[in-house]
Amino acid sequence: MKTVVSLQEMQNSALRWRREGKRIGLVPTMGSLHEGHLSLITRCREQVDIVVVSVFVNPIQFGPQEDFASYPRDLERDATLAEKAGADYIFAPSDQEMYPPDFVSLVKVEKLTERLCGASRPGHFQGVTTVVAKLFNLVQPDVAVFGAKDYQQAAVIRRMVRDLAFPVEIVVAPIVREVNGLAKSSRNQYLSREERAEALILYQSLRFAESLIRGGERQAADIKASMTEMIDSVERSRIDYIEIVHPESLEPVEVITGDVVIALAVFIGKTRLIDNLLVHVAPSS
């Protein structure tokens, strides 16, 4: 496996692969790879001839008080794990080359970015769509694989691809969880042993909400109130948001009449974690 750091080398290689008729797959990451990332690489490997894993902690998607400086970085470890999972190339550009001093172009998706994580992290998704658009231009992928844990991110990327006519198939792979249900996340390593145990409340509350819906509850406000009470019972928890939304528009749902996504962001201690659950509901039920 080869590591590429130059933007020009990455793009030249991708254009050459295209001329050779090879299918290219991209797995965008910020590094600190875990089993969730590796499942994306494996999924990508099944569909293409060349798998590129980008490892880039994107500065413009972090807010001023967020963890950009402390975000875990270990490129050697990431490259080893990525190769074992089936990657052919690591693309690890520098901040300076991705965003030179005179960089002024940004990509923004409206509406879908205004709620959920977008409401509490202003500018976050503009940073995400900008870097992903640039990665698409550099890597020239036929397929790009994202994880369902960042449900809103996947929805935003799909809309950007559709609206801007990127010739890229977006694949969204299922959430990978630990045995106890905790969603795999690079930020889990910030958690102490006690906090990790308390973080289980995210998935437990999602499954509880699902059970309420299966039992016939259709009022989103009542479901969210029950989830809030459950999460607030955990000592170190602080809710950022709990929302029940339409799977495509991400508009809040008041009365559940079809499929919904239950999404939440919760601080456990100082660590902000996200999770979600897609619940299939028969329209007539």
Residue 195 identity: E
Whole-number Å distance between alpha carbons of 202 and 41: 26
In what side-by-side order are the strands of the sheet with 271-279? Answer: 237-245, 260-268, 271-279
Q: Is residue 144 within 8 Å of 27, Cβ to Cβ?
A: yes
Catalytic residue among 34, 37, 124, 246: 37
Residue 22 is given by DSSP the state -
Environment class of residue 229 by beta-carbon count within 10 Å: exposed (0-12), middle (13-18) or buried (19+)? Answer: exposed
Number of other CB atoms surrounding residue 268 within 10 Å: 27
3-state secondary structure of 279: strand
- Strand-pair category, 24-29 with 50-55: parallel
Hey, what's the torsion of the CAs at 58, 150, 275, 243, to 10 degrees? 110
37 is catalytic: yes
Beta-bridged to residue 54, according to DSSP, are 28, 91
Q: Which is nearest to 95 in space by CA: 58, 65, 139?
A: 58
Enzyme catalytic residues? 37
